[in-house]
Structure 1
């Protein structure tokens, strides 16, 4: 239960938080700069009957900054099996529960989705309290296309598994966004350059913090830089541009392809298969194949 009156401070001014309806509230918190908190988020953190977070020590800093005096319980990947049912029981009893992440929006690379799934199954209302997001902040400053993107979380620390995952993501028609460890950054960038091709990319570090940095370049250039530089510090988001446009096949390559396919199948089927592989119209390829066969005859 919340301790004391549901109030919070902004500067020297005190505000009273309105009461909350019973629900599970997903509260986004700052990813670095504590000023990046919404008034609505402060209201929920102050007024919720129960508050859960990944690390109570991290959240305490935010609560103290805004004069919110209350206790928070831990909910993270190591205690989700035991803490989750307790929170669902509170919700089922008609209480309001606020779930806050250490930084950013809950459920992004944390176990919060398990609690949300359980709440939905129990018929409990789930309310998003939007705010800071490292994924969107990095995408915005990367200079890469943002009309379509895919958030892929953390890659494996093992090179083979990392490359397999990158190969799976290779054809995604949008910007790829990854979280990465400072210690693995150089190796991951090298794997990305080798598997994805030398695409434009951006390494965004310590976003919203004092030493915020966005370094842009090709994957190969970024990999070379971080291979030589000291291990970077802080939270890192890597954005990688969409697949590079492939060079159209030359006329000679297309002719060789048509002849090779026609040796294995009929002319019409060979032209259709070549059309699928090259993006050229089947009728044009069939006509060209007939010309090639006529020349050969």
Structure 2
């Protein structure tokens, strides 16, 4: 099969989640509902934190940024997915595909590092509570968030730059529902070994470094919790971390399944399920987890509602 230079490629075809017509409308309605909940939940969380002075602390500053990342993260993938459910031919332009890939990597890496920063914040709060306000100053928090976004844009620039170097064959059907790195590499006519190793290294670096940081943070957290003399104190300390633990477990589990394995190690169907989970479901669940399990957020929400009503 003759290869054609990537500069001549004008569009790709996305295979989507299913080719069964009877499932298109139910899936459209399902993911539309998920996307609406994601928008309302994350925008609501971001707005709630901005409006309530009692939530102007490092923990909620990071949480507001996580909500912003989740909102953008879902918006990169879901709208195009919804359009594809009601379109006869799921076409995406070459420029649109590369743009989607770029911003997808930006926000997935930002999510990874934001969760890590939040683990560090909880570690400082529980392990050294008397020095918390000194260590987690406004300048330090701003610097940590700046580093998160810098790592995200650097990673996205490298990954997308590698994809732009690929040459593609005549058959331009992406076996996925959005432009991801692995499905794009499978379309290439040229050798992708070095690019695959680079992508694997970068993904491994991000996941391993951040997950180890989270793990070390929670070792210190658990050590501090076990030294608390009262059951009530231990329960209160652990409750401040339980929401974050749930978010970390869901995100790292699904991303590691996709990116830290050989491309032939699992079926496309399983990969799609895992991808749907971390691209659409997790951004919806995060604000629910942090609001339903957090008394301060509930109190701020009730206060804001009373203020708006009266």
| Structure with more of its chain in helix, by fraction | 2
Q: Which has the larger radius of gyration?
A: 1
TM normalised by structure 1 equals 0.21
Quick one: higher RCO (CA 8 Å, sep 6+), 1 or 2? 2
